[in-house]
Amino acid sequence: IRDLQIDGLGARDIGKLALPGGGWIPYMVLEWLDGLPLDILLRREKNQKLPPRNLAQALQLLDAAAIALDVAHKKGVAHRDLKPANIMIRGDARGEEVTVKLLDFGIAKVMADHEQLQQQLQMTGHEITAFTPNHGAPEQFSRNYSATGPWTDVYALALILVEIMRGGQRALDGDTFFELGVSSCDPNRRPTPASFGLQVTPAVEAIFAKALT
């Protein structure tokens, strides 16, 4: 059974706790998540010398995350900072009963809930930017490409799928922000499965090429 949730703020309860001296402190109750972020999981599997997942296994692992993103996109919310560290894996990661949760929708919620703020930023030529360069889409490195949106998450999800199939190795080349930006924006080299020698059908390769455009 697959369980999927979108964890925005994730608060179960908020309030204030009265102190014996008459003062008070605020509190927030959050869900306790047992599990591993995907980046740590892939690192552990590599250290244990487990074989990389093939495409079918990678899709099985991220199926719930893709569905959760689709739900968010249909509500007009893009994550904009999708990365393995924001994907929580609970249960047997290589079994059927695995729970996947998407975390850290904070910036996405701010942008979705404050339309007036977005308009003001656009008028002044500024925009809220918070993303991880290792999984950044071209439009996050340069607004000359387009605005960010659901397609930004599609790009990141495709990168993550490729990384899973590579046993946790990164898909974008580079160690610095500039190098990663060049790698992301280079139209002559898309980090598709075939570009790394992974065996996929031409139809699947075409889907990845479109997602990583």
Q: Which positions are annotated as active-site residues? A: 81
Find, among 83, 73, 130, the residue nearest to 106 by Cα.
Answer: 130
| Residue-wise burial string across 149-186, b where 16 or more C-beta atoms lie within 10 A, e elsewhere | ebbbbbbbbbbbbbbbbbebebbbeeeeeeebbebbbe
72/150 Cα distance (integer angstroms) = 9
Please give the C-alpha separations between residue 188 and each of 101, 134, 177, 192, in angstroms, as whole numbers: 34, 18, 19, 12
